[in-house]
Structure 1
Amino acid sequence: MTIKLIAIDIDGTLINSHHELTTRTKEAIIKAKEQGVKIVIATGRPYPGVANILKELDLEDKGDYVITYNGSLVQECDTKKAIVSHGLSYDNFIEIEALSRQLGSHLHSIDRENIYTANQHISPYTIHEASLTGMPLYYRAVDQMTRNMEIVKMMMIDEPTILDEVISKLPSWFTDKYTTTKSAPFYLEVLNKQANKGIAVKELADYLGIKQEETMAIGDNENDLEMIEYAGVGVAMANAVSKLKSAANCETLSNDEDGVAVMIEKQLN
């Protein structure tokens, strides 16, 4: 079966450990697009945090799509219009914030344009997220958040050992109600239950009339698990976590060895 859509994670997958797109990877993606394959970046980042990559890969045209916020949004690359949106309500925000404080984790919230934190001592990992995405960061007390805000996702953030302890204490009602996914050792993302990369890839494929067996997904971390499981061909990077490797159909080279390019080139030959 010919692959018609390839969903690709960014960090630890598309870019190398120096946060660079290699020439080989760029050429493979551009060639695949020219041959009619839908190349879809699937990331936990917001649109501003992926815009430069989309431009570098020539993925900003009409008919190009990007999955952002770990599946909370599927957007048109030319207009940024969302064709799929699964956000969080104000009541969700209040509930998540209260539990985060109870368990002792830092937290920030993200809408389509900004990052907000109620922590007066702002976590360096929140600052890192703002730097990575290029989004403005604001201190905003809980009582300053309003019902008309369109929160896309929230993130519990802390030193890895602290965060792992917090995760171990999450009540079952919470993990049943929300999608929780670890995108880095210091990030636990909290999303609408209908938001994950696997659901987003399926919704986009259905929108485009592409069959499940005609899709491929490439990733390295736990937040890529659902799209690896959904795709007709699920590919784990050599540097992927063991849980992802167990779920994948096959493994490619690491992100420092052009593993994404290797898989795309195999599809084109």
Structure 2
Amino acid sequence: MYKLIAIDMDGTLLNDRHEVPEDVKHTLDEAKRQGIKIVLCSSRPIGGMRNYIKALNLDEEGDFVIAYNGSLVQDTHTNEVVAELSLGHDDLEKLYDLSVELKSPMHFFDAKGVYTPNADISEYTVLEAYLCNIPLGYRQVSDIPTNISIPKIMFIDNPDNLQRTIQALPEELNEQYTIVQSSPYFLEFVHPSASKGNAVKKLAEQLGIKQEEIMSFGDNGNDLSMIQYAGCGVAMGNAIPEIKEAADFQTLTNNESGVAYAIKKLALDPLNTEVK
């Protein structure tokens, strides 16, 4: 029996209109009623997840969320931080200098919002602020307090340019950061020990849940670590090839309520399922 289901949001839980399909809502309610912990696990900041957490009743006692690609694990009922891994001002300076060298726009986060040091603000930074419903500010790196705690730094660009940036990254960066591509136009840098898989592992160990009792859902590169870690990794029908190859099961697409389909098929006890 599965006791914890970790679910990516964009491209997985949400359809292409950024909505949770009704079938998925009902299925998550049923899974929770049967005692399964539902944990949203996203690259988004907490602010970009709150409306969905509330709508899905995932802010009750004993509920948790994983944000910033595993940099933050938080109790959604008490807002207590369970685990946190952050970058600092030195990382910001280093990655900003690299972004200038590679001619790649960038932005970064703190607990309050998203900021860009680029006076010509990228449309992808605007998109990030819109999707996450968080404030957007323009800040020069030299104006940022040296004690800043940064959960995530991102390079953003159109897919072709971003691929050229990725190919030009110095190899040593892979030892200094966890680097994942969460969409065709988002490349994310987090603490080297931070990943969705590590965050799911840490939360499960705290809750006394075994690896084989975990199911995870994802569609993109930043989901790979939790797909590989979970007892059952589920790839969305719209997932990239690397996720499909690593998964134990492939479900329908995010526009076909693929999360609901897999949970019903693999995790729910039909004898204890209430008739809707």
The residue number in structure 2 matching 1:36 is 35
CA RMSD of aligned residues (A): 0.8
Q: Residue 178 of structure 2 contacts residue 193 of structure 2 at CA under 8 Å; is this kept in 1?
A: yes
Q: What is the match of residue 117 of structure 2? A: 118
> Do the aligned partners of 2:43 and 2:68 also contact (CA within 8 Å) in 1?
yes
Partner residue in 2 for 1:80: 79
TM-score (norm 1): 0.98
- Match status 1:175 vs 2:174: yes
TM value normalised by structure 2: 0.96
- In 2, the alpha carbon distance for the partners of 1:167 and 1:3 equals 37
Matching of residues 109-258 of structure 1 within 5 Å: 109-258=108-257
CA distance in 2 between counterparts of 1:82 and 1:46 reads 13
Q: d(CA) in 2 for partners of 1:149 and 1:253?
A: 41
Looking at structure 2, the residues matched to 125 and 20 of structure 1 have their Cα atoms a distance apart, in angstroms, of: 20
Following the alignment from structure 1 to structure 2, what is the Cα–Cα distance between the partners of residues 234 and 143? 43
Amino acid at match of 1:212: Q
Cross-structure match for 1:52: 51
Task: Encode CA deviations 1:51-95: one digit per residue, 9 max, x unaligned.
Answer: 011111110012000000010001111122210101101111111
Look up the equivalent residue of 1:199 and give its one-letter code: N
Q: CA deviation at 1:221?
A: 0.6
Between Structure 1 and Structure 2, how many residues are aligned?
268
What are the superposed Cα offsets for residues 189-226 of structure 1, whole Å, 9 maximum, x if unpaired? 01100111001100110111100000000011111000
Distance 1:165 1:56 in 2: 39
| Off by >3 Å, runs of 4+ in structure 1 | none
What SS class does the counterpart of residue 161 from structure 1 fall into? helix
Task: State how far apart, in whole Å, the 1-side matches of 2:76 and 2:164 are.
Answer: 38
Unaligned runs of 5+ in 2: 271-276
Indicate the percent of aligned positions where both proteins have the same amino acid: 47
Q: Secondary structure at the match of 1:7?
A: strand
Unaligned runs of 5+ in 1: none
* Per-residue CA distance 1:6-60 (angstroms, 9 max, x = gap): 0000111101112111111001001111111000000000111010111111100
